[in-house]
Structure 1
Amino acid sequence: MSDETLATTRRGALRAGLTAATGATLVTGLVFAADTNGKVVFTYDDGPVKDYTHTYRKAHRKEGVPGCSAVPAAYVGNDGTLDAARLRELEDEGWEIMSHSVHHRALGDITVTRDVAPDDRRLYVKTNHHGDRPGDDLFVTDGSASTTVTVAGKGEDERGEFVKLRGPVGRSFAADDGVIERYTDEILHGALGDSKAQLEDLGVTVTNIVMPYGGYGARTQELAGEYYTAVANGGLAIGGRAQVHRPDDVTLPHLSRAMFRRGKMTKADLGAFLDRVVDADGLGILGGHSWWQERLPPERVRLAIRMAKDRDLDVVTLREALDDLGVTETKRETTQTAQTTQTTQTTQTSQTTQTTRRTTQKTTGKTGTGTNGFPANDETSDDSPTSSTGQPGFGWLAALGGVGGAAALRRWRGDR
């Protein structure tokens, strides 16, 4: 048996043994005696068939380590993309399948670059990604005033890129006021939730996401955690890309990654990035595209994997890394605490409300909703304005500490 085959087999046996022992894919909250190596996660976007034929078969399989394929649900089975059978095969071989939205929409906020008049049927924007799908609704706001418009298409002229609209905007905006446009909540929920559901209907497990174009606006940041444990390229939410974090610094779902193709990282840059992961005893996330073969061929991927191995870093999936670091368990405990607090506050508020109503009834003889702690209007809009202007762009990402080999069998100890 070759060393490469042995590495793959041993890794599979390691994970399979844990599954058999715990009755689950991986159980967080368990503490194992193991090394404390840092971790590296490799993510590949868009779900091209080359994720399988090149990146998996010619690089990761030969090195005996897993990767992560981020797949737009609507792309599965199209010409040149992974089909459901190969997604399941990759998962069976230890890979993680991640969401990449449904139709590869840019889910962040995009800056409006020119003043808008009420009768305008164009929005001049920093990038016209939101004009890709006619019929989509966009929410336009300067932080105080807002409106909703419908996409008719996109274009570009001497004034810049623009989104064409099916009707006039209906109100004016001054670009200097920090105007942005984003997808409506309905589209954001669909892009996040439907992609996960559609991929899981194909027989794979999806817990994490890579945002198309790195787009991660303020409203998307609020919604992402409803569907996913982590956003692998969510650096915009935590101050920027290419960060390396220690496990106790992670604020899920927001993580950060670095693109490692030629032209983005030299070999020296890659080595420096991996050294930072070692120094942090943390997790680094690397990202790329298998279809961009001239810049990320299998040889480049194998080089990166071997450089990680040379530094005793463990190459694992993002789900494994977060579980083994205990980060997922921390999030679960935080969520449970928040839910308990909310329940307690709701109960207290309800009791206070009942007492107030009884007092009101005694003094006025009726129940009403006057000035006794009952707001006249407590409704909030799903489309509450945001001032974020984070722009789409393939994200640099580095996140935190890791697992692998023996470390794949332990939770990060809180006393380290």
Structure 2
Amino acid sequence: MADSTITTTRRGALRTAGLAIGGTALVGHAAAAPAASNGKLVFTYDDGPTDDYTQAYRKAHRKEGVPGCSAVPSASVGTKGSLDAARLRKLEDAGWEIMSHSVHHRALTNVAVTSDVSPGDETLRVETNLHGKLPGDELLVSDGSTSATVTVAGKGSDDEGKYLELESNVGTSFSASDGVTERYTDEILRSALGKSKRQLEGYGVTVTNIVMPYGGYGPRTQELVDEYYTAVANGGLAIDGRGQIQKPDELTLPHLSRAMFRQGKMTETELGTFLDSVADEDALGILGGHSWWRERLPASRIRTAIRMAKDRDIDIVTLRDALSETNAAKTTTTGTTATKGTATKTTTGGTNGARAAGTNTTDGVAAGAEKTRTAGETTNGTGQPGFGVVSALVGVGSAAAWKLRKK
């Protein structure tokens, strides 16, 4: 479909309906009940390169008549080799979803400190020095009981491994055997989550979901993320980890699992097995990759994956629509959004609840009992809707005319 033939757009439909998006709530009509299907498949592409438009969209998704999702670092918009605001809007007009990918593509996770730390040290030996990419960033070093805030001056590596350079000494002793980690401060984490959403929406698109850069999803990020987003497309904490499908009765927000499908990461046979599981379980599957030229994910492979999904009668949708339709289906089946089996949203946070099961607690925040939010409830202190109003939060009218879908 040529761009000039698109007459119904997401933004136009929302303006016509008089709806507001970007706050903590929406007022809208209930989504129509979706038709029976063999599961739903979401394609996500990271980093927001122009290739998302010129390759993944124009040479694959548009030709196959199905949408995708572009996860974009907000600071990169309009820079060399990256999508600009006009193309973000064109993608959304074509039925795509624009997701956050943080502001500066920081790794929003904890990193292990690998050597003992003395008060006078001006370097930290670390498992990976990703947190040294932006001088001036503040990091919290903690063993769970003692913490210190340090400022990044740079990064490096030598025969002993990787390290972070600091603007001044640590000022505190830490023993690596105590499980010391370093992470971004809350101020930076909140900026990476909230500012990226605001900046992207400032370009005229709607942002309700996020893909974590480098797959980094630390305990504190898990506690903060659902203040800003409905789902983390590559969270993978609520079920069996990365690369899993989400069965309807196991869908736990915000944590979702994603499988990378580039050549060398997933064979065509493995892709077929993944898609068979989606169809057999009427589940949600998320495929991820990078559309830039270095990635072994050419348009031909994307089209192959799309056609394999079509052969199995799997609906290819955006994540926003997948969640909206899943919620609508549950509402239709049960007659209520708060019955047993309805998708839940697990919340975590400081003294209000524990972080997701299986994660560590080395960021200085004590773990508590798990708190699960069911339909109709809101998060503590934020007023953010629970899963009961996901159909309003994640989009309006999942069967709207703008959706590109072929079966």
TM-score (norm 2): 0.76
Shift of 1:140: 0.7
- Aligned match of 2:260: 259
Specify every segment of 5 or more residues in structure 1 that has no aligned partner in the other structure, as ranges.
339-382, 388-406, 411-416
- Aligned match of 1:385: 365
Q: Tell me the SS of whatever aligns to 1:172.
A: coil
Distance across 2 between alignment mates of 1:75 and 1:139: 26
Counterpart mapping for 1:351-370 below 5 A:
none
Would you say the 8 A contact 2:10–2:92 is kept in 1? no
- Aligned match of 1:90: 91
- Aligned-pair identity in percent equals 65
Q: Tell me the SS of whatever aligns to 1:291.
A: coil
Distance across 1 between alignment mates of 2:77 and 2:12: 31
Aligned partner of 1:255: which letter?
L
Count of matched residue pairs: 338
Aligned partner of 1:133: which letter?
L
More helix by share: 1
- Aligned match of 1:156: 157
**Which segments of structure 1 move beyond 2 Å, counting only runs of 4 or more?**
11-33, 236-239, 327-330, 383-387, 407-410
Would you say the 8 A contact 2:242–2:258 is kept in 1? yes
- Aligned match of 1:324: 325
Pick closer, same or farther for the CA change 1:54–1:262 going to 2, 3 Å.
same
Shift of 1:69: 0.3
Aligned partner of 1:123: which letter?
L
- Aligned match of 1:147: 148
Shift of 1:73: 0.4
- Aligned match of 2:133: 132
Distance across 1 between alignment mates of 2:246 and 2:313: 18
Q: Tell me the SS of whatever aligns to 2:222.
A: helix
Pick closer, same or farther for the CA change 1:40–1:297 going to 2, 3 Å.
same
Aligned partner of 1:171: which letter?
T
Distance across 2 between alignment mates of 1:44 and 1:136: 27
Shift of 1:37: 2.5
Would you say the 8 A contact 1:28–1:324 is kept in 2? no
Would you say the 8 A contact 2:9–2:95 is kept in 1? no
Q: Tell me the SS of whatever aligns to 2:253.
A: coil
Aligned partner of 1:208: which letter?
N
State yes or no: 1:170 paired with 2:171: yes
Specify every segment of 5 or more residues in structure 2 that has no aligned partner in the other structure, as ranges.
332-336, 346-362, 368-396, 401-407
- Aligned match of 1:355: none
Q: Tell me the SS of whatever aligns to 1:319.
A: helix
Counterpart mapping for 1:11-410 below 5 A:
29-30=30-31, 32=33, 34-236=35-237, 238-293=239-294, 295-326=296-327, 384-385=364-365, 409=399
Pick closer, same or farther for the CA change 1:20–1:48 going to 2, 3 Å.
closer
Shift of 1:243: 1.5
- For the aligned residue pairs, the C-alpha RMSD in angstroms reads 3.2
Q: Which is worse superposed, 32-41 or 248-257?
A: 32-41
Shift of 1:126: 1.0
- Aligned match of 1:353: none
Distance across 2 between alignment mates of 1:124 and 1:257: 31
Shift of 1:317: 0.3
After superposition, the C-alpha distances for 1:299-341 in whole angstroms (9 at most, x for unaligned) are: 01001100110110011000000000008998x979xx99xxx
Q: Tell me the SS of whatever aligns to 1:233.
A: coil
Shift of 1:234: 0.5
Q: Tell me the SS of whatever aligns to 1:120.
A: coil
Pick closer, same or farther for the CA change 1:307–1:249 going to 2, 3 Å.
same
Distance across 1 between alignment mates of 2:55 and 2:180: 43
Shift of 1:117: 1.3
Pick closer, same or farther for the CA change 1:143–1:314 going to 2, 3 Å.
same
Q: Tell me the SS of whatever aligns to 1:42.
A: strand
Shift of 1:30: 4.0
Distance across 2 between alignment mates of 1:60 and 1:85: 19
